[in-house]
Amino acid sequence: MAQLFTLQSKSPNQWNLHLSILNADNDTREAPWYAAWNLVLQEQIFANFCQPPYLTVTYPQFPVSRHIDTYHPADDIIDGEGGDSGDEDDDGESYRITLSPSQHPQTTPPSRNHLLRSGAPSPESYRHPSLQLLDTPPAPWANKHSPPGRKSTRIPDFAQLLYQIEANSDGTVPLPIKYQILGLSLIVEVKKCTIHPTALSFTNILPQTDRQVHRVFTTFPHMRKLGVIIAIGAYWTYFEYDRDDVRPSPSESEQNDTTFTEDTPPPSSPAKVLTPLNAVFGPDGFARLETPQSDEGLQLVRIRLKELSGIEREA
């Protein structure tokens, strides 16, 4: 029997999210998932995230390379490969496992714990005592080249920018306002979901976010860390990058050169995960929206992003 709810059992925001997820689940494209993730970002992570003079804004399709607008011809091909990607979907950004049985002999999907070095905490100590990081080495069966399908290394699906507006000593703000960009709090990469994902599904997307982060660190040279959510439909996980762990980014001239490719991929992704999320998500290493695990995980991500922002914490 179908589970019944009353109209009052969910808030309007919860109904909006529920409907957007249902609609995207019933669709075959990536684009409908943008509505769901826009709601998650604005209502679960960044609602009342900061107070003036600090402001934060969610941008879809925000270019993280200077002088690049929301579309760039080089984004229609996979970095390091020429020609069309072979993906005929309108959206292009699809998740598929392409490993043959001989490449992936496991009879059960590997958990993210198999993709992480066990017991390898980050030497960094955070203000929030439970927020520690684990290294993310490559899986031995993972395809070290880019996964199939079109993808953008210049334009993540969402970017969360943090601003500070200038105010006079008496608290007044002259118009037009003057402001500075403090940096990016988070980028989000969204894929449509055609089959139930595994930990490997998220690991296969890291080459794309690795390159996006390279470009962010080049565009914002003062930034030291950046959070990344990878979403496959309603399933998601969180990674974090430290500038010191990321190999030098391409120069600005290289970024703007559509023929430039990074020929030698790094041996492993510098992305790390928050250890508290492992406890929340369990062996899979990810959660599905509208579950207690997801709600708790999003709250941990919110806390961590506030720490990284350097702005005053919530009361």
Residue range 207-219, pLDDT digits in tens:
999 999 999 999 9
* pLDDT at 275 > cutoff 90: no
Q: Residue 62: inside a domain, yes or no?
A: yes
Q: How many domains does the chain fold into?
A: 1
* pLDDT at 300 > cutoff 90: yes
Confidence of residue 175 (pLDDT cuts 50, 70, 90): very high
In DSSP notation, the chain reads ------GGGS-HHHHHHHHHHHHHHTSSSSTHHHHHHHHIIIIIISTT---TTEEEEEEET---STT--S--GGGGS-TT--S--S--SSS--B------TTT---SSPPPHHHHS-TT-B-S---SSTT--EEE-PPPTTS-SSPPSS---SS--SEEEEEEEE---TTS---SS--EEEEEEEEEEEEEB-SS---HHHHHTTHHHHHHHHHHHHHH-TT--EEEEEEEETTEEEEEEEEGGGSPPPPPHHHHT-TT----S--SS---EEEHHHHHHHGGG--EETTSHHHHHHHHHHHHHHHHHH-SPPP-
Q: Residue 103: inside a domain, yes or no?
A: no
Q: Residue 3: inside a domain, yes or no?
A: no
* pLDDT at 100 > cutoff 60: no
| Per-residue pLDDT, 71 | 52
Q: Residue 203: inside a domain, yes or no?
A: yes
Q: Residue 303: inside a domain, yes or no?
A: yes
| Per-residue pLDDT, 150 | 43
| Per-residue pLDDT, 121 | 35
Name the residue range of residue 250's domain.
Answer: 11-98+108-309
Q: Residue 314: inside a domain, yes or no?
A: no
Q: Residue 47: inside a domain, yes or no?
A: yes
Which of 54-68, 131-145, 258-272, 300-314 is predicted least confidently?
131-145
| Per-residue pLDDT, 88 | 32
Mean pLDDT of 255-259: 67
Which of 60-69, 88-97, 157-166 is predicted least confidently?
88-97
Q: Residue 294: inside a domain, yes or no?
A: yes
What are 29-76's pLDDT values in tens digits?
999 999 999 999 999 999 999 999 999 999 999 888 765 555 545 444
pTM score, whole prediction? 0.72
* pLDDT at 252 > cutoff 50: yes
